[in-house]
Amino acid sequence: MVDKKSIILLSLVAIIAVIPLVLYSGMGEDEGYFGGADGAAGEAIEETGYKPWFSSIWEPPSGEIESLLFALQAAIGAIVIGYVFGYYHGQAKERKKIENEANKTAKNSK
Amino acid sequence: MRHFIKSKGDFNVHIMEGFLPWQWCLFWYIVALPVVAYGVIQIKKITDKNPESKPLLAVSGAFIFVLSSLKIPSVTGSCSHPTGTGLGAVLFGPAATSVLATIVLLFQSLLLAHGGITTLGANIFSMGIAGPFAAWGIYKVVKKSGLSTSIGVFFAVFIGDLLTYIVTATQLSLAFPIPTFTESFVKFMVIFAYTQVPLAIIEGLLTVFIFWNIMKLRPDILEDLKVIVPKIKETAKELI
């Protein structure tokens, strides 16, 4: 599943994700870092004097519950991806085995 | 502590609940729903014709689930998340992807107060339709030009991700052209765009990784879906 090319690719992903943490190391939410581009756009709209006319039916009651649900979302996705690729991987292995055996019997019959 | 409970709500790709005037909510629903309906028909057609592609459809949806739940730090010092819709767009086209994106957007707006029911139409349009449509189109063009599939996938996903954010900024500036559309657009683009570039690269690389594995394990499905052209060697073998 993981060859040399893939390792390079995934390392790149890790590096890009870590660079900001190094750049702003020591900074946190209190200094206004890593809080999310989210609030910014909302604030920009509220500055125009606009009042949201509808609010969420249900909101996670705390940051903990929110991360629970985010983790759940990621877990559901990861399980599906892992299952399908695991299945494909097994299929490919089995296919190879059958091919090898077929080659062997073909050779023997010669 | 003030950030723990989302008083301001999460924005990212998704426009927050209630943050578009109702006329615009209605407008984007009217634009998005026919595409999603067409996507449902499209999915039925594709899976009837190629039942073998069903697991990949699941993977495409799951990929959106995973990527859109990951808030990744960016060089601007804020966090945002990728969309994950590029894989589905390249494999199944934008209409089918809009259906997958709708499922994720519903999950996030109902359970995470991330996005919203009133702004669902607008969010489906940016993340589920505009981005995937660009990704799908770019993949086709790159493939025709003879460059490698990996490069095609990367740029399709990269630009699809960025376009999602450009469309979100456009939607907001259309609804809030204060003082003018252009000024408002620039303001929203500054908030979104810089943050999103590194994340779009990450999304491109991860999608290429998934794509490589599909190519290695089940290239036949990609051929059936006409994502890649069968190797000449094999067709030659069949002719003999």
Strand partners, B10: B114
One domain for residues A12 and A32: yes
Cβ–Cβ gap A36/B12 under 8 Å: yes
CA dihedral A43, A47, A53, A54 (to 10 degrees): 10
Looking at the fold, whether A13 and A45 belong to one and the same domain comes out as: yes
Measured in degrees and rounded to the nearest 5, phi and psi for residue B230 equal -55, 145
Is residue B15 a part of any domain in this protein? Answer: no
Residue B3 binned pLDDT confidence (cut-offs 50, 70, 90): very low
When pLDDT is averaged across residues B100-120 and rounded to a whole number, the result is: 93
- Give the count of alpha carbons within 13 A of B33, CB side only: 7
CA B151, B156, B161, B167 dihedral sign is positive
What is the per-residue pLDDT across B179-190, written as a single tens digit (0 to 9) for each? 889 998 988 888
If asked whether residues A69 and A23 sit together in one domain, one would say no
B168 within some domain: yes
Pair A64, A107 in one domain: yes
ipTM for the assembly: 0.88
Check whether residue A78 and residue A96 sit in a common domain: yes
Q: Choose among B111, B93, B113, B92: nearest CA to B8.
A: B113
The reply to whether A33 touches chain B by the CB within 8 Å rule is yes
* Residue A1 pLDDT: 52
Instruction: Enter the DSSP assignment of B114.
Output: B
For residue B89, tell me if it sits in a domain. yes
Regarding whether A92 and A76 lie in a shared domain, the answer is yes
Q: How many domains does chain A have?
A: 2
Residues 41-80 of A with CB under 8 A from B: 41-45, 48, 50, 52-60, 62-63, 66, 69-71, 73-74, 76-80
Range of the domain at A9: 1-55
End residue of a domain, out of A55, A76, A100? A55
Do residues A2 and A49 share a domain?
A: yes
Query: Are A66 and A51 in the same domain?
Result: no
Assess whether pLDDT exceeds 70 at residue A61.
yes
Number of domains composing chain B: 1
Confidence at residue B51, expressed as pLDDT on a 0 to 100 scale = 95
Of B12, B18, B77, the CB nearest to A52: B18
Question: Taking the model in full, what pTM does it have?
Answer: 0.89
A66 and A20 together in one domain: no
